[in-house]
Amino acid sequence: KAGVTQTPRYLIKTRGQQVTLSCSPISGHRSVSWYQQTPGQGLQFLFEYFSETQRNKGNFPGRFSGRQFSNSRSEMNVSTLELGDSALYLCASSLAGPGGNTIYFGEGSWLTVV
Amino acid sequence: QQPVQSPQAVILREGEDAVINCSSSKALYSVHWYRQKHGEAPVFLMILLKGGEQKGHEKISASFNEKKQQSSLYLTASQLSYSGTYFCGSPAGGGADGLTFGKGTHLIIQP
């Protein structure tokens, strides 16, 4: 079974631009969550989607947004990029059934803002 | 709220044991443990769903004390491959599957 796939793996953007990152979950997984990882702040929860609906959102500004498609694939967008947005962005998927669900991470997208 | 992990860093010799703690100021309904090596994605270790639950595989095990709102990860007879950063996570809330993670514990195993 293929794992969580994220694209692109590496990208460099200029301040003020916007970026879209893509995530394909493990087949059959219906929940997709996104995280930002930086050396200073660690691994921070951005948002989680299930059946095309955002169920929860972390403490990030509105410049960070996401969506989920009917096939469970997800995208996240960051507008008006700032230098501090440079980070590893991780996508994770899970079955989203009842009870605690194991969450599996993709390899991540490394974003550098210059 | 973010779980609190301790210690922040540990340096061990191969074969020594380690304990990593994770506590929360809010109720923990489940605890998820991950290990991340430099430049790689976090890898799932185990999930504990019930208070008092203990799990383990090979020489890594964990316990969950729901009343005390804490969990501990035990690494026995550590191997070089155990080096990395260990994170505990708890549900972010809202019925969602996302996790709020602690800041991590850096574990270095020396030969």
Among the partner-chain residues B30, B32, B99, the one whose CB lies closest to the CB of A45 is B99
**Beta pairing, strands B105-110 & B54-57:** unpaired
pLDDT digits (tens, 9 = 90+) for A53-89: 999 899 999 999 999 999 999 999 999 999 999 999 9
Residues of B in contact with A50 (CB under 8 A): 96-97
Query: What is the model's pLDDT at position B96?
Result: 73
Nearest chain A CA: its distance from B49 CA (Å): 6
Residues of A in contact with B43 (CB under 8 A): 105
Query: What is d(CA B78, CA B4) in angstroms, rounded to the nearest whole number?
Result: 23
Nearest to A41 by CA among B97, B2, B109, B51: B2
Phi-psi region at B77: left, alpha or beta (left = phi > 0; alpha = psi -120 to 50): left
Q: Where does the pLDDT of residue A96 fall: very low under 50, low under 70, confident under 90, or very high at 90 and above? A: confident
Query: What is d(CA B63, CA A20) in angstroms, rounded to the nearest whole number?
Result: 39
Q: Count of alpha carbons within 13 Å of A68, Cβ hemisphere only?
A: 23
Query: What is the model's pLDDT at position B54?
Result: 66
The two most distant CA atoms of chain A are separated, in Å, by 43
Nearest to B103 by CA among A62, A66, A57, A42: A42
Q: Phi first, then psi: give them for residue B81, nearest 5 degrees.
A: -70, -10
Nearest to A108 by CA among A14, A11, A1: A11
pLDDT digits (tens, 9 = 90+) for A40-52: 888 999 999 999 9
Q: What is the DSSP letter of B26?
A: S
Task: Write the CB contacts of B26 (distance below 8 Å, at least 6 apart in sequence).
Answer: B1, B69
Task: Quote the mean pLDDT of chain A.
Answer: 94
pLDDT greater than 80 at residue B93 = no
Query: What is the model's pLDDT at position A24?
Result: 98
Nearest chain A CA: its distance from B41 CA (Å): 5
| Angle ∠(A64,A73,A7) on CA atoms, nearest 5 | 70
Query: What is the model's pLDDT at position B52?
Result: 63
Q: Where does the pLDDT of residue B51 fall: very low under 50, low under 70, confident under 90, or very high at 90 and above? A: low
Contact B99 A50 (CB under 8 A): no
Contact A45 B100 (CB under 8 A): yes
Size of interface A-B (CB pairs under 8 A): 77
**Contact in structure between A32 and A25 (CB atoms under 8 Å):** yes
Among the partner-chain residues A56, A103, A105, the one whose CB lies closest to the CB of B94 is A56
Among the partner-chain residues A35, A43, A96, the one whose CB lies closest to the CB of B97 is A96
Q: Is B19 on the interface with A (CB under 8 A)?
A: no
Task: Quote the mean pLDDT of chain B.
Answer: 89
Query: What is the model's pLDDT at position A22?
Result: 98
Which one of A47, A56, A101 would you mutate to disrupt binding with B, by most B Cβ within 10 Å of its Cβ?
Answer: A56
Query: What is the model's pLDDT at position B59?
Result: 86
**Contact in structure between A66 and A74 (CB atoms under 8 Å):** yes
